[in-house]
Amino acid sequence: MALNHVAWIAVDWGTSAMRAWAMGGDDRILAEASSAEGMGTLEPSGFEPALIRLISDWLPADGVVPVFACGMVGARQGWREAQYRNVPCPPLGPEVTRITPEDRRFTVTILPGLAQKRPADVMRGEETQIAGYQAQRPDFDGVIALPGTHTKWAYVSAGEVVSFQTCMTGEMFALLADRSVLRHSVQAETFDLDAFRAAVADTLSDPQKLAARLFGIRAETLLSGLQPASARARLSGLLIGLELAATRPYWLGQDVVLIGAPRLSGLYREALAAQGVAAEVEDVTAMTLGGLAAARRGEHAE
């Protein structure tokens, strides 16, 4: 069904999925759609058709609608590479990658990610969410954590991303929970929050013991009937505890904002609360759209 009044289209295009929103001139969401055609599944020539499959109903009969996209779509293996910008810098800047598709009903602007030289680090997509938060709180000075497959911790000050650090916690959890020997122990629909809290405290105080504690989950299942809900929570707590031990310089004594999926952000908030840090949780979709809208406004301002 064709949509009227689509002023622009927002796209969050990651490795394993793509989400798109038809946006009104006032940045209200008119429609949304998603597909599993992430960057990891596409050849360079496949991006335009994949996008059209998702947004064709939103394209105008005449005229051109601008598409603003962030995420892995701008990676070297993406549609077209959007060169990283180096921190310290504002999360968004004038350096964007513009594509003129074969289908002339839309144009595409890809926002680049950020890179840090030392310690080496990169992000693609999270910079847009940080910009979304800055759009609503331009004076924010503190730490933004973006829990996910590769959780990012960013120190933000005076409108710039000063430094950041990535932890592979989400990916390690998925690998250990679904593909390691621990998969026999942690299949649960429920979650034991006390076990989570204890495991976070445990790794935070003795991070070096992680290697041994992981197999302990399996052994306790075999020997003392550790329940799956507790085992799963403990695995999550051990890994998030290690991440908090690694990122202590980021969160200790700081204002922390969490931007991520609600359940995962809730676990990080829980873990930080036990360390005396009260974190604010923001909706990841709202931040992504806020950042893409800020990029669009920036284009208009040029």
Contact footprint for its own copies (CB under 8 A)? 76, 84, 115-117, 119-122, 150, 165-169, 171-172, 175-176, 179-181, 207-212, 214-216, 218-220, 222-224, 239, 242-243, 245-248
- Adjacency order of strands within the sheet including 142-146: 160-167, 151-157, 142-146, 256-260, 279-283
Whole-number CA gyration radius for the chain: 21
Q: Are 70 and 288 in contact (CB under 8 A)?
A: yes
CB of 166 to its own copies, least distance (A): 4
Nearest to residue 151, comparing CAs of 177, 176, 132, 125? Answer: 125
CB 31 within 8 A of CB 11: no
> How is residue 90 written in tokens?
């504002």
Buried/exposed code over 128-163 (b: 16+ C-beta within 10 A; e: otherwise): bbbbbbbbeeeebebbbbbbbebbbbbbbeeeebeb
* Under 8 Å between Cβ of 292 and 285: no
For its own copies, the closer of residues 116 and 265 by Cβ is 116
Minimum CB separation from its own copies for residue 200, in Å? 13
Contact 9, 20 (CB under 8 A): yes
- Quote the least distance from Cβ 164 to its own copies, whole Å: 10
Q: Based on CB atoms, which residue is closest to its own copies, 123 or 292? A: 123
CB of 8 to its own copies, least distance (A): 30
Residue placing its CB nearer to its own copies in the complex, 128 or 163: 163
Say how far apart CA 184 and CA 198 lie, in whole Å: 21
| Residue number, 104 or 118, with CB nearest to its own copies | 118
**Least distance in angstroms from the C-beta of 148 to its own copies:** 12
E strand or H helix that includes residue 162: strand 160-167
Q: CB-wise, 166 or 236, nearer to its own copies?
A: 166
CB of 272 to its own copies, least distance (A): 15
Kindly tell me which of 16 and 136 has the beta carbon lying closer to its own copies.
16
